[in-house]
Amino acid sequence: MSTTDRASGPPSAAPAGPRRGPWPRGRHRPGRTRVVGVDAARGLAVLGMIVAHVAVAADPSWAVQAVNGRAAVLFAVLGGVSLALMTAPVLAAPTARNRARLRRRIAVRAVLLVVLGLLLAVISTGPMVILVVYGVLFWLLLPVLFAPARALAVAAAVWAVAGPLLSWVLRARFGSTTDAAGRTVLGATVHPADLTSPAGLLHALDTVLLSGAYPVLTWMPFLLLGMALGRLDLRSAGVRLLTGGALGALAGYGGSWLALDVLGGRDALLASVAPVADRLGVPAELALQLLGGSALGTVATTTPAWLLAATPHSGSPFDVVGAAGGAVAVLGLCLLAARRAGPLLAPLTATGSLALTLYAGHIALLAALGEWPQESPWAATALVAGLAVAVAPVWRGLVGRGPLEAFVHVVSVRAAGAPTTVGAAGSAPAPMPGGPAAGQAGDMQNGTTGRAPDTIGYRGSSDPAREEAR
Protein backbone atom coordinates (compact mmCIF):
# COMPACT_ATOMS: atom_id res chain seq x y z
CA MET A 1 0.00 0.00 0.00
CA SER A 2 1.48 3.33 -1.02
CA THR A 3 1.23 6.60 0.85
CA THR A 4 1.45 10.24 0.00
CA ASP A 5 4.38 12.54 0.75
CA ARG A 6 4.60 13.44 4.38
CA ALA A 7 4.38 16.99 5.65
CA SER A 8 7.89 18.14 6.44
CA GLY A 9 7.12 20.69 9.14
CA PRO A 10 4.51 22.76 10.94
CA PRO A 11 2.14 25.04 9.09
CA SER A 12 3.70 28.27 7.90
CA ALA A 13 0.83 30.25 9.36
CA ALA A 14 -1.70 29.62 12.04
CA PRO A 15 -4.96 28.36 10.64
CA ALA A 16 -7.80 30.80 10.54
CA GLY A 17 -10.56 30.46 13.06
CA PRO A 18 -13.54 28.35 12.10
CA ARG A 19 -16.40 30.05 10.37
CA ARG A 20 -19.52 30.32 12.48
CA GLY A 21 -23.00 30.17 11.12
CA PRO A 22 -26.00 27.89 10.74
CA TRP A 23 -25.27 26.80 7.17
CA PRO A 24 -21.92 25.10 6.44
CA ARG A 25 -21.18 26.37 2.98
CA GLY A 26 -18.64 23.80 1.87
CA ARG A 27 -16.19 25.95 -0.04
CA HIS A 28 -12.54 25.03 0.27
CA ARG A 29 -9.64 27.28 1.04
CA PRO A 30 -6.69 27.37 -1.36
CA GLY A 31 -4.55 24.32 -0.76
CA ARG A 32 -7.43 22.21 0.53
CA THR A 33 -8.09 20.34 -2.66
CA ARG A 34 -10.37 17.38 -3.11
CA VAL A 35 -9.41 14.21 -4.94
CA VAL A 36 -11.00 15.31 -8.20
CA GLY A 37 -10.93 11.84 -9.70
CA VAL A 38 -13.06 10.43 -6.87
CA ASP A 39 -15.63 13.18 -7.32
CA ALA A 40 -15.63 12.61 -11.09
CA ALA A 41 -16.20 8.88 -10.63
CA ARG A 42 -19.05 9.61 -8.24
CA GLY A 43 -20.52 12.01 -10.78
CA LEU A 44 -20.48 9.21 -13.36
CA ALA A 45 -22.22 6.95 -10.84
CA VAL A 46 -24.98 9.50 -10.27
CA LEU A 47 -25.50 10.04 -14.01
CA GLY A 48 -25.39 6.29 -14.60
CA MET A 49 -28.15 5.70 -12.06
CA ILE A 50 -30.24 8.42 -13.70
CA VAL A 51 -29.89 6.64 -17.05
CA ALA A 52 -30.70 3.28 -15.47
CA HIS A 53 -33.79 4.68 -13.73
CA VAL A 54 -35.20 6.79 -16.56
CA ALA A 55 -34.08 5.29 -19.86
CA VAL A 56 -35.02 1.78 -18.74
CA ALA A 57 -38.48 2.38 -20.24
CA ALA A 58 -36.89 2.59 -23.69
CA ASP A 59 -35.95 -0.37 -25.83
CA PRO A 60 -32.78 -2.06 -24.55
CA SER A 61 -29.71 -0.15 -25.70
CA TRP A 62 -25.99 -0.31 -25.09
CA ALA A 63 -26.19 2.74 -22.82
CA VAL A 64 -28.79 1.18 -20.53
CA GLN A 65 -26.99 -2.16 -20.53
CA ALA A 66 -23.68 -0.47 -19.70
CA VAL A 67 -25.00 1.21 -16.55
CA ASN A 68 -27.58 -1.35 -15.43
CA GLY A 69 -26.47 -2.42 -11.96
CA ARG A 70 -22.92 -1.21 -12.55
CA ALA A 71 -23.59 2.44 -11.71
CA ALA A 72 -24.87 1.43 -8.27
CA VAL A 73 -21.82 -0.82 -7.81
CA LEU A 74 -19.54 2.11 -8.61
CA PHE A 75 -21.43 4.20 -6.05
CA ALA A 76 -20.97 1.45 -3.43
CA VAL A 77 -17.25 1.04 -4.09
CA LEU A 78 -16.80 4.79 -3.78
CA GLY A 79 -18.70 4.66 -0.50
CA GLY A 80 -16.02 2.33 0.82
CA VAL A 81 -13.30 4.63 -0.49
CA SER A 82 -14.89 7.52 1.37
CA LEU A 83 -15.09 5.57 4.62
CA ALA A 84 -11.38 4.82 4.36
CA LEU A 85 -10.49 8.45 3.71
CA MET A 86 -12.61 9.46 6.65
CA THR A 87 -10.65 7.16 8.98
CA ALA A 88 -7.21 8.40 7.90
CA PRO A 89 -6.87 11.20 10.49
CA VAL A 90 -8.09 8.91 13.27
CA LEU A 91 -5.58 6.22 12.28
CA ALA A 92 -2.88 8.86 12.69
CA ALA A 93 -4.10 9.60 16.24
CA PRO A 94 -5.84 6.34 17.16
CA THR A 95 -7.15 7.13 20.61
CA ALA A 96 -10.21 5.37 21.92
CA ARG A 97 -12.06 8.69 22.07
CA ASN A 98 -11.30 9.51 18.44
CA ARG A 99 -12.37 6.08 17.25
CA ALA A 100 -15.59 6.20 19.25
CA ARG A 101 -16.46 9.65 17.91
CA LEU A 102 -15.94 8.63 14.32
CA ARG A 103 -17.98 5.47 14.78
CA ARG A 104 -20.83 7.51 16.29
CA ARG A 105 -20.64 9.96 13.44
CA ILE A 106 -20.85 7.26 10.80
CA ALA A 107 -23.60 5.43 12.70
CA VAL A 108 -25.72 8.58 12.78
CA ARG A 109 -25.13 9.14 9.08
CA ALA A 110 -26.33 5.60 8.49
CA VAL A 111 -29.53 6.32 10.44
CA LEU A 112 -30.16 9.42 8.35
CA LEU A 113 -29.56 7.50 5.12
CA VAL A 114 -32.03 4.81 6.18
CA VAL A 115 -34.67 7.40 7.05
CA LEU A 116 -34.15 9.21 3.75
CA GLY A 117 -34.30 5.91 1.89
CA LEU A 118 -37.64 5.07 3.49
CA LEU A 119 -39.04 8.48 2.57
CA LEU A 120 -37.88 8.15 -1.03
CA ALA A 121 -39.43 4.68 -1.23
CA VAL A 122 -42.81 6.29 -0.57
CA ILE A 123 -42.61 8.64 -3.56
CA SER A 124 -40.52 6.51 -5.93
CA THR A 125 -42.31 5.72 -9.18
CA GLY A 126 -39.97 2.91 -10.17
CA PRO A 127 -36.33 3.42 -9.08
CA MET A 128 -35.19 0.87 -6.51
CA VAL A 129 -33.84 3.09 -3.72
CA ILE A 130 -30.48 1.88 -2.43
CA LEU A 131 -30.13 4.15 0.61
CA VAL A 132 -31.65 1.84 3.24
CA VAL A 133 -29.19 -0.93 2.43
CA TYR A 134 -26.43 1.65 2.14
CA GLY A 135 -27.07 2.78 5.70
CA VAL A 136 -27.23 -0.81 6.97
CA LEU A 137 -23.90 -1.55 5.30
CA PHE A 138 -22.38 1.44 7.10
CA TRP A 139 -23.57 0.02 10.42
CA LEU A 140 -22.20 -3.44 9.65
CA LEU A 141 -18.81 -2.01 8.68
CA LEU A 142 -18.29 -0.16 11.96
CA PRO A 143 -16.44 -3.10 13.61
CA VAL A 144 -13.89 -3.22 10.76
CA LEU A 145 -13.64 0.52 10.20
CA PHE A 146 -9.97 0.58 11.20
CA ALA A 147 -8.97 -2.84 9.87
CA PRO A 148 -5.75 -3.11 7.81
CA ALA A 149 -6.06 -2.65 4.07
CA ARG A 150 -4.86 -6.17 3.31
CA ALA A 151 -7.45 -7.69 5.63
CA LEU A 152 -10.17 -5.63 3.97
CA ALA A 153 -9.05 -6.72 0.50
CA VAL A 154 -8.98 -10.38 1.50
CA ALA A 155 -12.41 -10.10 3.12
CA ALA A 156 -13.79 -8.49 -0.06
CA ALA A 157 -12.37 -11.28 -2.24
CA VAL A 158 -13.71 -14.06 -0.02
CA TRP A 159 -17.11 -12.40 0.37
CA ALA A 160 -17.42 -11.85 -3.40
CA VAL A 161 -17.58 -15.63 -3.82
CA ALA A 162 -18.99 -16.86 -0.51
CA GLY A 163 -21.77 -14.25 -0.27
CA PRO A 164 -23.53 -15.17 -3.54
CA LEU A 165 -23.17 -18.89 -2.81
CA LEU A 166 -24.66 -18.51 0.67
CA SER A 167 -27.45 -16.34 -0.74
CA TRP A 168 -28.35 -19.00 -3.29
CA VAL A 169 -28.34 -21.80 -0.68
CA LEU A 170 -30.52 -19.86 1.76
CA ARG A 171 -33.02 -18.76 -0.87
CA ALA A 172 -33.18 -22.25 -2.37
CA ARG A 173 -33.83 -23.66 1.10
CA PHE A 174 -36.26 -21.08 2.49
CA GLY A 175 -37.60 -19.36 -0.61
CA SER A 176 -37.49 -15.74 -1.69
CA THR A 177 -39.67 -12.76 -0.82
CA THR A 178 -43.30 -13.22 -1.91
CA ASP A 179 -46.32 -10.93 -2.08
CA ALA A 180 -49.78 -11.51 -0.59
CA ALA A 181 -50.68 -13.79 -3.50
CA GLY A 182 -47.61 -15.95 -2.95
CA ARG A 183 -45.79 -14.70 -6.04
CA THR A 184 -42.03 -14.13 -5.88
CA VAL A 185 -41.13 -10.46 -5.58
CA LEU A 186 -38.10 -9.31 -7.57
CA GLY A 187 -36.22 -6.10 -6.91
CA ALA A 188 -37.87 -5.51 -3.53
CA THR A 189 -36.87 -2.54 -1.37
CA VAL A 190 -37.93 -1.65 2.15
CA HIS A 191 -41.07 0.49 2.52
CA PRO A 192 -42.17 2.30 5.72
CA ALA A 193 -45.27 0.09 5.81
CA ASP A 194 -42.95 -2.89 6.39
CA LEU A 195 -42.04 -1.48 9.80
CA THR A 196 -45.55 -1.53 11.21
CA SER A 197 -45.97 -5.25 11.93
CA PRO A 198 -43.88 -8.28 12.90
CA ALA A 199 -44.48 -9.88 9.50
CA GLY A 200 -43.47 -6.66 7.80
CA LEU A 201 -40.29 -6.42 9.85
CA LEU A 202 -39.39 -9.97 8.88
CA HIS A 203 -40.02 -9.09 5.25
CA ALA A 204 -37.82 -6.00 5.58
CA LEU A 205 -35.03 -8.03 7.16
CA ASP A 206 -35.18 -10.59 4.34
CA THR A 207 -35.24 -7.80 1.75
CA VAL A 208 -32.20 -6.03 3.18
CA LEU A 209 -30.05 -9.05 3.89
CA LEU A 210 -31.01 -11.68 1.34
CA SER A 211 -33.69 -11.27 -1.31
CA GLY A 212 -34.05 -7.59 -2.15
CA ALA A 213 -32.70 -5.41 -4.93
CA TYR A 214 -29.48 -4.69 -3.01
CA PRO A 215 -29.02 -7.57 -0.55
CA VAL A 216 -26.23 -7.15 1.98
CA LEU A 217 -24.95 -10.66 1.30
CA THR A 218 -23.89 -9.69 -2.21
CA TRP A 219 -23.23 -5.94 -1.80
CA MET A 220 -20.86 -6.03 1.17
CA PRO A 221 -17.81 -6.88 -1.01
CA PHE A 222 -18.10 -3.59 -2.88
CA LEU A 223 -17.71 -1.45 0.23
CA LEU A 224 -14.98 -3.68 1.66
CA LEU A 225 -13.07 -3.33 -1.60
CA GLY A 226 -13.55 0.43 -1.61
CA MET A 227 -12.26 0.69 1.97
CA ALA A 228 -9.11 -1.19 0.95
CA LEU A 229 -8.61 1.07 -2.07
CA GLY A 230 -9.15 4.19 0.02
CA ARG A 231 -5.97 3.43 1.98
CA LEU A 232 -3.90 4.00 -1.18
CA ASP A 233 -2.49 7.29 -2.37
CA LEU A 234 -5.32 7.74 -4.84
CA ARG A 235 -3.68 10.67 -6.61
CA SER A 236 -0.94 8.39 -7.93
CA ALA A 237 -2.81 5.08 -8.11
CA GLY A 238 -4.70 5.68 -11.36
CA VAL A 239 -2.69 3.32 -13.55
CA ARG A 240 -2.72 0.51 -11.00
CA LEU A 241 -6.46 0.84 -10.44
CA LEU A 242 -7.22 0.98 -14.15
CA THR A 243 -5.08 -2.09 -14.81
CA GLY A 244 -6.26 -4.06 -11.80
CA GLY A 245 -9.88 -3.16 -12.42
CA ALA A 246 -9.68 -4.23 -16.04
CA LEU A 247 -8.20 -7.56 -14.98
CA GLY A 248 -10.98 -7.99 -12.41
CA ALA A 249 -13.65 -7.26 -15.02
CA LEU A 250 -12.00 -9.73 -17.38
CA ALA A 251 -11.93 -12.38 -14.63
CA GLY A 252 -15.62 -11.87 -13.86
CA TYR A 253 -17.12 -11.57 -17.33
CA GLY A 254 -14.53 -13.73 -19.06
CA GLY A 255 -14.84 -16.40 -16.37
CA SER A 256 -18.61 -16.47 -16.86
CA TRP A 257 -18.20 -16.91 -20.61
CA LEU A 258 -15.75 -19.75 -20.02
CA ALA A 259 -18.08 -21.48 -17.55
CA LEU A 260 -21.18 -21.11 -19.73
CA ASP A 261 -19.98 -21.45 -23.31
CA VAL A 262 -16.87 -23.60 -22.99
CA LEU A 263 -17.49 -25.81 -19.97
CA GLY A 264 -21.17 -26.47 -20.66
CA GLY A 265 -22.99 -24.34 -18.11
CA ARG A 266 -25.33 -22.95 -20.76
CA ASP A 267 -26.79 -26.41 -21.38
CA ALA A 268 -27.92 -26.60 -17.76
CA LEU A 269 -29.54 -23.17 -18.06
CA LEU A 270 -31.34 -24.14 -21.26
CA ALA A 271 -32.68 -27.24 -19.56
CA SER A 272 -33.95 -25.18 -16.63
CA VAL A 273 -35.88 -22.76 -18.85
CA ALA A 274 -37.27 -25.44 -21.17
CA PRO A 275 -40.63 -25.67 -19.35
CA VAL A 276 -41.08 -21.89 -19.63
CA ALA A 277 -40.13 -22.00 -23.31
CA ASP A 278 -42.73 -24.69 -23.92
CA ARG A 279 -45.46 -22.66 -22.23
CA LEU A 280 -44.54 -19.56 -24.24
CA GLY A 281 -44.08 -21.47 -27.47
CA VAL A 282 -40.61 -20.03 -28.09
CA PRO A 283 -37.16 -21.60 -28.48
CA ALA A 284 -35.26 -22.29 -25.27
CA GLU A 285 -32.51 -19.86 -26.33
CA LEU A 286 -35.03 -17.02 -26.55
CA ALA A 287 -36.55 -17.95 -23.21
CA LEU A 288 -33.07 -17.93 -21.69
CA GLN A 289 -32.40 -14.52 -23.20
CA LEU A 290 -35.67 -13.16 -21.79
CA LEU A 291 -35.18 -14.64 -18.32
CA GLY A 292 -31.43 -14.10 -18.03
CA GLY A 293 -30.93 -10.81 -19.83
CA SER A 294 -31.25 -8.75 -16.68
CA ALA A 295 -31.86 -9.27 -12.99
CA LEU A 296 -33.22 -7.37 -10.01
CA GLY A 297 -30.76 -8.22 -7.27
CA THR A 298 -30.63 -12.02 -7.12
CA VAL A 299 -30.23 -15.06 -9.35
CA ALA A 300 -32.91 -17.71 -9.78
CA THR A 301 -32.66 -20.82 -7.62
CA THR A 302 -34.01 -23.30 -10.18
CA THR A 303 -30.48 -24.50 -10.91
CA PRO A 304 -27.02 -23.69 -9.52
CA ALA A 305 -25.97 -22.94 -13.09
CA TRP A 306 -27.47 -19.44 -12.70
CA LEU A 307 -24.50 -18.68 -10.46
CA LEU A 308 -22.28 -19.02 -13.54
CA ALA A 309 -23.97 -16.16 -15.41
CA ALA A 310 -22.60 -12.61 -15.10
CA THR A 311 -26.03 -11.07 -15.61
CA PRO A 312 -25.97 -7.39 -14.52
CA HIS A 313 -27.40 -6.76 -11.04
CA SER A 314 -27.81 -10.47 -10.41
CA GLY A 315 -25.40 -10.90 -7.51
CA SER A 316 -23.75 -14.01 -8.95
CA PRO A 317 -20.03 -14.43 -8.11
CA PHE A 318 -19.08 -13.56 -11.68
CA ASP A 319 -21.32 -10.48 -11.67
CA VAL A 320 -19.88 -9.28 -8.34
CA VAL A 321 -16.28 -9.73 -9.50
CA GLY A 322 -16.87 -8.29 -12.95
CA ALA A 323 -18.86 -5.26 -11.76
CA ALA A 324 -16.37 -4.55 -8.97
CA GLY A 325 -13.50 -4.71 -11.45
CA GLY A 326 -15.33 -2.36 -13.77
CA ALA A 327 -15.92 0.10 -10.92
CA VAL A 328 -12.24 0.07 -9.97
CA ALA A 329 -11.24 0.61 -13.60
CA VAL A 330 -13.61 3.60 -13.89
CA LEU A 331 -12.14 5.07 -10.71
CA GLY A 332 -8.63 4.61 -12.07
CA LEU A 333 -9.59 6.21 -15.38
CA CYS A 334 -11.14 9.20 -13.60
CA LEU A 335 -8.05 9.63 -11.44
CA LEU A 336 -5.85 9.66 -14.54
CA ALA A 337 -8.16 12.08 -16.33
CA ALA A 338 -8.14 14.39 -13.30
CA ARG A 339 -4.34 14.56 -13.34
CA ARG A 340 -4.28 15.59 -16.97
CA ALA A 341 -7.48 17.55 -17.47
CA GLY A 342 -8.91 18.29 -14.02
CA PRO A 343 -10.58 21.63 -14.89
CA LEU A 344 -12.44 20.04 -17.80
CA LEU A 345 -14.08 17.66 -15.36
CA ALA A 346 -15.55 20.49 -13.25
CA PRO A 347 -19.24 19.83 -14.12
CA LEU A 348 -18.78 16.12 -13.46
CA THR A 349 -16.92 16.61 -10.18
CA ALA A 350 -19.53 19.10 -8.98
CA THR A 351 -22.20 16.52 -9.77
CA GLY A 352 -20.33 13.93 -7.74
CA SER A 353 -19.87 16.26 -4.79
CA LEU A 354 -23.66 16.71 -4.52
CA ALA A 355 -24.45 13.03 -5.00
CA LEU A 356 -27.02 12.57 -2.23
CA THR A 357 -29.00 15.70 -3.08
CA LEU A 358 -29.04 14.84 -6.79
CA TYR A 359 -29.93 11.20 -6.13
CA ALA A 360 -32.89 12.14 -3.95
CA GLY A 361 -33.78 15.03 -6.23
CA HIS A 362 -34.01 12.95 -9.38
CA ILE A 363 -36.33 10.45 -7.69
CA ALA A 364 -38.58 13.30 -6.56
CA LEU A 365 -38.47 14.87 -10.03
CA LEU A 366 -39.45 11.59 -11.69
CA ALA A 367 -42.42 11.35 -9.35
CA ALA A 368 -43.45 14.90 -10.25
CA LEU A 369 -43.17 14.21 -13.99
CA GLY A 370 -45.80 11.48 -13.79
CA GLU A 371 -46.13 9.27 -16.87
CA TRP A 372 -44.00 11.38 -19.18
CA PRO A 373 -40.69 9.57 -18.45
CA GLN A 374 -42.29 6.28 -19.53
CA GLU A 375 -43.69 7.86 -22.68
CA SER A 376 -40.49 9.70 -23.67
CA PRO A 377 -37.69 7.99 -21.75
CA TRP A 378 -34.73 9.43 -23.60
CA ALA A 379 -36.08 12.97 -23.52
CA ALA A 380 -36.72 12.58 -19.80
CA THR A 381 -33.24 11.16 -19.32
CA ALA A 382 -31.70 14.15 -21.07
CA LEU A 383 -33.77 16.54 -18.98
CA VAL A 384 -32.97 14.97 -15.61
CA ALA A 385 -29.27 14.39 -16.33
CA GLY A 386 -28.93 17.82 -17.90
CA LEU A 387 -30.46 19.50 -14.87
CA ALA A 388 -28.09 17.63 -12.56
CA VAL A 389 -24.98 18.65 -14.51
CA ALA A 390 -26.19 22.24 -14.93
CA VAL A 391 -27.34 22.85 -11.35
CA ALA A 392 -24.47 21.16 -9.50
CA PRO A 393 -21.64 23.56 -10.51
CA VAL A 394 -23.80 26.62 -9.86
CA TRP A 395 -24.90 25.41 -6.43
CA ARG A 396 -21.38 24.29 -5.58
CA GLY A 397 -19.96 27.67 -6.49
CA LEU A 398 -22.61 29.84 -4.83
CA VAL A 399 -23.58 27.80 -1.77
CA GLY A 400 -21.17 24.90 -1.32
CA ARG A 401 -22.62 21.78 0.22
CA GLY A 402 -25.94 20.55 -1.05
CA PRO A 403 -28.90 20.90 1.32
CA LEU A 404 -28.99 17.21 2.21
CA GLU A 405 -25.20 17.08 2.55
CA ALA A 406 -25.23 20.03 4.94
CA PHE A 407 -28.04 18.55 7.02
CA VAL A 408 -26.39 15.15 7.33
CA HIS A 409 -23.04 16.72 8.16
CA VAL A 410 -24.36 18.99 10.92
CA VAL A 411 -26.54 16.34 12.57
CA SER A 412 -23.92 13.57 12.49
CA VAL A 413 -21.01 15.69 13.70
CA ARG A 414 -23.01 17.16 16.56
CA ALA A 415 -24.28 13.72 17.53
CA ALA A 416 -20.68 12.46 17.56
CA GLY A 417 -19.72 15.12 20.05
CA ALA A 418 -17.44 17.07 17.73
CA PRO A 419 -17.84 20.76 16.83
CA THR A 420 -19.52 21.15 13.46
CA THR A 421 -17.14 23.94 12.48
CA VAL A 422 -13.87 22.15 13.23
CA GLY A 423 -12.48 21.05 9.91
CA ALA A 424 -15.77 21.75 8.20
CA ALA A 425 -15.62 22.82 4.61
CA GLY A 426 -15.02 26.51 4.44
CA SER A 427 -12.86 26.64 7.57
CA ALA A 428 -9.20 25.87 8.04
CA PRO A 429 -8.38 22.48 9.53
CA ALA A 430 -7.22 22.38 13.12
CA PRO A 431 -3.76 20.92 13.80
CA MET A 432 -3.63 17.22 14.54
CA PRO A 433 -1.38 16.09 17.37
CA GLY A 434 1.20 13.62 16.35
CA GLY A 435 4.19 14.33 14.04
CA PRO A 436 4.85 12.83 10.65
CA ALA A 437 1.90 10.47 10.83
CA ALA A 438 -0.41 13.39 11.37
CA GLY A 439 1.01 15.22 8.39
CA GLN A 440 0.70 12.08 6.31
CA ALA A 441 -2.97 11.76 7.19
CA GLY A 442 -3.49 15.37 6.24
CA ASP A 443 -1.95 14.78 2.84
CA MET A 444 -4.06 11.65 2.33
CA GLN A 445 -7.14 13.75 2.87
CA ASN A 446 -6.42 17.01 1.12
CA GLY A 447 -3.01 16.93 -0.50
CA THR A 448 -1.90 20.02 1.44
CA THR A 449 1.72 20.23 2.54
CA GLY A 450 2.27 21.49 6.05
CA ARG A 451 -1.31 21.12 7.25
CA ALA A 452 -2.89 18.41 9.30
CA PRO A 453 -6.62 17.88 9.71
CA ASP A 454 -8.47 17.64 12.93
CA THR A 455 -8.98 14.09 14.14
CA ILE A 456 -12.74 14.50 14.07
CA GLY A 457 -14.99 16.41 11.74
CA TYR A 458 -12.47 17.00 8.99
CA ARG A 459 -13.77 17.33 5.48
CA GLY A 460 -11.16 15.81 3.25
CA SER A 461 -10.93 14.78 -0.34
CA SER A 462 -13.92 12.52 -0.20
CA ASP A 463 -15.78 11.28 2.83
CA PRO A 464 -19.17 9.67 3.19
CA ALA A 465 -20.65 12.61 5.03
CA ARG A 466 -19.76 14.81 2.14
CA GLU A 467 -19.94 12.33 -0.72
CA GLU A 468 -22.27 9.47 0.25
CA ALA A 469 -24.46 11.73 2.28
CA ARG A 470 -24.74 14.09 -0.65
pTM over 0.75: yes
The tally of CA atoms less than 13 A away on the side-chain side of residue 376 is 8
- State the Cα–Cα distance between residues 464 and 470, nearest whole angstrom: 8
Whether residue 468 has pLDDT greater than 60: no
Mean pLDDT of 171-197: 78
Mean pLDDT of 430-454: 33
- End-to-end Cα, the chain, rounded Å: 28
- Give the three-class secondary structure for 184: strand
- Give the three-class secondary structure for 146: coil
Mention every residue, 6+ apart, whose C-beta is less than 8 A from residue 236: 2, 4
- State the pLDDT confidence band at 451, using cuts at 50, 70 and 90: very low
Pick from 2, 1, 6, 3: which is nearest to 452 by CA?
A: 6
- State the pLDDT confidence band at 280, using cuts at 50, 70 and 90: confident
Mean pLDDT of 215-230: 96
- State the Cα–Cα distance between residues 133 and 255, nearest whole angstrom: 28
Quote the Cα angle for 110-312-348, to 5°. 60
Q: Each residue of 380-430: pLDDT tens digit?
A: 999 999 999 999 999 988 988 889 999 999 999 998 886 554 333 333 333
- State the Cα–Cα distance between residues 111 and 248, nearest whole angstrom: 33
Pick from 435, 436, 441, 396: which is nearest to 423 by CA?
A: 441
Pick from 335, 428, 348, 363: which is nearest to 396 by CA?
A: 348
Pick from 43, 49, 211, 48: which is nearest to 129 by CA?
A: 49
